Structures are given as C-alpha cells and as structure tokens.
Copies of this chain bind each other. A is one copy, B any other.
C-alpha cells in the first residue's frame, strides 16, 4: 500500500468510486450494448417486423443484469423499469441505432475511435455493477458467500447469461451452446471480479473497496479496449486457466473446445493472422451493413 499512498491513489480511488454513472457512462453502456444487439444476425429484420420485440431485446441488452439479479434475489424483475429516465435514454439510443435516417448514428458510434472510448466507459459501468451487486447481496445475506459471487457475476454478465432466451424473443434458438458452456471474456472477467469483490467484502482481501474498484476498472477497460481494437475474442486468462484447470480437473488446457478457442491468442498474441472469431466478427459486420 506504500506505493498507492505515494501516488495518492487512495484519494483518487475514493473520488472515482463516488462518481455518478448517469447519464454519461450509462449512455455509453446503452450505446455499446445496443450496438452489439445490431451486430446479431437477424436483429435488423426483427426491428422492421416487430418494433416491440426489438425494443424488448434492446431493454434486455441494457438492463438484463438488473432483471436477472432482481429475479435471483426474489424481487420484481422489472423493478428497474421504475427509473423512467434510464428507460427513456436507452429507448432513444435504440431508436437512433435502428431507425436513424441514413443510419447516421450507427455509423458515428461504430466508428472505431468513438467505439473504443464508449467500450472503455462501458467497462467502468460493468465494474461498478459487480461491486454494487456483491454489496447488495452481502446486505441481504451476511454470510452467503456463494450468493455474493452469483449476484456479482450476474450483474457483470448481464444479458449474456440469458442470451438463449433473448434470442428466443427474436425467433432464434441455439440450444447447443450458452454463455456458461462457452464463456466469453466479459463473462469470465465478471466471475473473477465477483470473487475478488466478495473476498474484499468479507475482509479476506486486505484492500479498500475503492482501490479494488479502481484497479479492476482499469484492468477491464484496458483489456476490452485492446481486444476491441484488435478484433480479438481470445481470453487473456487462457494461460493461467489452462494451468489451473490441469491442476484441479486433470484436463489439459481447460477442455477440448476451450483449448481450441483460447489457446491461439496465448501462444501467438502478436500474430497478424485472423482467428475464426475475428473473421466471423468481420462477416457479421458486413452482414449488418448489407441488411441496411
């Protein structure tokens, strides 16, 4: 903690942890989330056929974490919809991204430098949500370590955990996979973050909450910005995960499929070759452009 005090990080972390998220950060969160919805194959057609279904999907993308977390804690899943200003802001973003004349808004926010800033801001909100989720669960269940981790995880992952049902709303059904079977980077990071924040909340991790929040936020934002800039979907945890999985579960490199997907970036992180995921992202974008 010496270094932190020299850098005056503690005080900065305090200020940072008290900073309001609405409207700037939340706006970025909504924009990036609904951008990802538009990347989904078929979502543009759905927005033409049934605006109500498209709006509901957009709300799930923006507020999925609140919906699932509220459901998990036995409260009303639509409890967050009482915040009319948040809903209206997210609805405006949805409208602009899907129906703006000449597709202007989409082109602006999908422009790489703008998108990188928005992605960074989104990760700030995600880190904050995980911390808030763990804190909330700690308040409800004082010794429920598992509940804290689950709520933090759910708050960080958001719609990803219910993507099967979100897709069903759009008439798509892909039962052969889900976010738990094939975790993406944000979902994994949310899980690890939820564990860290739970350890902090129960005083097993000797660090102040604001400092942990600051460090975790910086880590998430940098990693996600680098990954977005490089169109990469590989997990930066893959090497450590492989070791831990081998040690704990005896399977080399975290399972056959995970291995195939996540090994590549770990072995050749500077390789200019496009992986399967990167190619598919390119294809996805082209499809979105065509569909307009």
Question: Chain A residues in contact with chain B, CB under 8 A?
Answer: 46-53, 56, 70-79, 81-82, 84, 87, 98-99, 101, 140-141, 143-147, 150, 164, 168-173, 175-178, 180-183, 191, 245, 248-251, 255-258
Contact = CB atoms under 8 A, between A and B. Distances in A.
A181 B54 CA distance: 9
A50 B169 contact: no
Contacts of A250: 99, 101
A81 B144 contact: yes
A49 B255 contact: yes
B48 A256 contact: yes
Contacts of A178: 53, 168-169, 171
A76 B74 contact: yes
Number of copies of chain A assembled together: 3
Nearest to A167: B175
A75 B79 CA distance: 12
A77 B82 contact: no
B249 A51 contact: yes
A169 B175 contact: no
A77 to B, nearest CB: 6
Given A50-B183, A177-B171, A99 B248 contact: yes
Contacts of A72: 76-78
A84 B145 CA distance: 7
Contact of A50 (B98, B99, B141, B182): B182
- Most B CB contacts (10 A, CB to CB) among A46, A70, A146, A182 go to A146
Contacts of A191: 52
Contacts of A98: 249
A46 B95 CA distance: 40
Contacts of A249: 47-48, 51, 98-99
A248 B178 CA distance: 35
A172 B171 contact: no
